[in-house]
């Protein structure tokens, strides 16, 4: 048995997991802890504290999924002053082989480790085992990527597709585009500004300012507080979550309209990615938002917007579409990546 260390390293939270494996696919979790990242000056003391508490031998391999870009085996974390370097980590931790991967790439690796209960089938399609796999995930931003099978494994390729142009398709989306251009005084709007957590808030502000529906006092207070805290590193409220909860509970018409417009745009962008990849191995919807608003997605026009691509509709109807329900898919991916080092 080989002992592995997997980590999901974010600006707010760091999760570490010890895993045993007899091959590169079968993983058995033996210990896990979560830490507040900002309480530590670096990743090294977190790992040292974790291994001391686990009271086990040093792992042979480790892989850390990082919320930020990886450049030449180094990473500077978003919202933290940490600078991570694989060579330094190997020396200071005494772990022979360490890899750093982008957190969205880790989601890609984690797909092969998911079980049936970790997925919600949105569209069964007609799966083709050797075909590419697509990933899209709205959370803080909008991640996109794809997987291609090479031998027995999938190779993961991240992309910056979330920064492609937002493409409005109807009058209200054109109004939204014009609103965002004016609000931010910029020349273009990326799809990430609409399909993401910040996109939910932006859509709400647009509908509020254009008087599509009256604000409820509760949500209005949350959004106003968030607006007043603009520029601060730490926010006291999460308006995207508040709007989503109010829409789920059908207690605020403006929030319901916001989520409807958000889901329509999400489905359309997922369809755009599917057109470019033809991922008959499956299109996987990751990120923290989709599982939380699953009932709204199920009862929405997400799939209609996904497939509504003119003559290409029949192709998109054959692509399996899944929502990832397991919030630790990135940690699973980091462990699988570590096993293959």
Which residue ranges are tagged as binding site? 7-12
Instruction: Name the token pair of 199.
Output: 């996109």
Q: Which residues are annotated as a binding site for ATP?
A: 7-12
DSSP code per residue over 163-219 = GSBP---SHHHHHHHHHHHHHHT-S--BGGGTSSHHHHHHHHHHHHHTTSSPPPHHH
d(CA 181, CA 192): 14
DSSP code per residue over 232-292 = -SS-S--HHHHHHHHHHTT--HHHHHHHHHHHHHHHHHHHHHHHHH--TT-EEEESSHHHH
**Alpha-carbon dihedral sign for residues 181, 186, 189, 193:** negative
**Alpha-carbon dihedral sign for residues 158, 25, 285, 6:** negative
Contact predicate 5/16, CB 8 Å? yes
CA within 13 Å, CB half, 16: 21
Cβ count near 24 (within 10 Å): 15
**Distant-in-sequence, close-in-space partners of 104: CB < 8 Å, separation ≥ 6:** 135, 137, 143, 144, 145, 158, 286
């Amino acid at each position: 048995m080989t002992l592995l260390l997997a980590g999901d390293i974010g600006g707010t939270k760091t999760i570490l997991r010890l895993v045993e494996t007899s091959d590169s696919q079968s993983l058995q979790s033996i210990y896990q802890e979560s830490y507040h990242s900002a309480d530590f000056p670096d990743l090294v003391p977190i790992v040292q504290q974790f291994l001391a508490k686990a009271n086990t031998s040093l792992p042979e391999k480790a892989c850390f999924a990082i919320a930020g870009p990886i450049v030449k085996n180094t990473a500077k974390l978003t919202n933290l002053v940490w600078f991570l370097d694989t060579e330094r980590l190997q020396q200071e931790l005494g772990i022979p082989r360490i890899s750093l991967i982008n957190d969205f790439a880790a989601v890609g690796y984690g797909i092969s480790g998911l079980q049936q209960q970790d997925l919600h089938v949105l569209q069964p399609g007609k799966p083709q085992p050797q075909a590419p796999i697509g990933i899209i995930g709205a959370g803080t931003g909008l991640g996109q990527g794809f997987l291609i099978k090479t031998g027995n494994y999938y190779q993961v390729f991240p992309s910056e597709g979330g920064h492609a142009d937002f493409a409005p398709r109807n009058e209200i989306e054109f109004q939204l585009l014009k609103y965002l251009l004016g609000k931010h005084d910029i020349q273009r709007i990326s799809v990430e500004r609409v399909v993401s957590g910040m996109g939910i808030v932006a859509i709400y502000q647009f509908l509020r300012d254009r008087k599509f529906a009256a604000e409820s006092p509760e949500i209005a207070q949350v959004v106003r507080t968030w607006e007043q805290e603009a520029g601060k590193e730490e926010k006291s409220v999460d308006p995207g979550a508040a709007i989503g909860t109010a829409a789920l509970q059908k207690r605020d018409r403006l929030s319901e309209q916001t989520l409807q417009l958000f889901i329509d745009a999400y489905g359309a962008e997922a369809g755009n990615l599917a057109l470019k990849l033809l991922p008959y191995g499956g299109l996987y919807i990751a990120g923290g938002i989709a599982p939380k608003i699953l009932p709204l997605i199920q009862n929405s026009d997400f799939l209609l917007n996904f497939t509504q691509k003119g003559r290409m509709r029949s192709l998109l109807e054959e692509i399996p579409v899944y929502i990832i329900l397991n919030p630790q898919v990135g940690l699973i991916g980091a462990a699988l990546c570590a096993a293959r080092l």
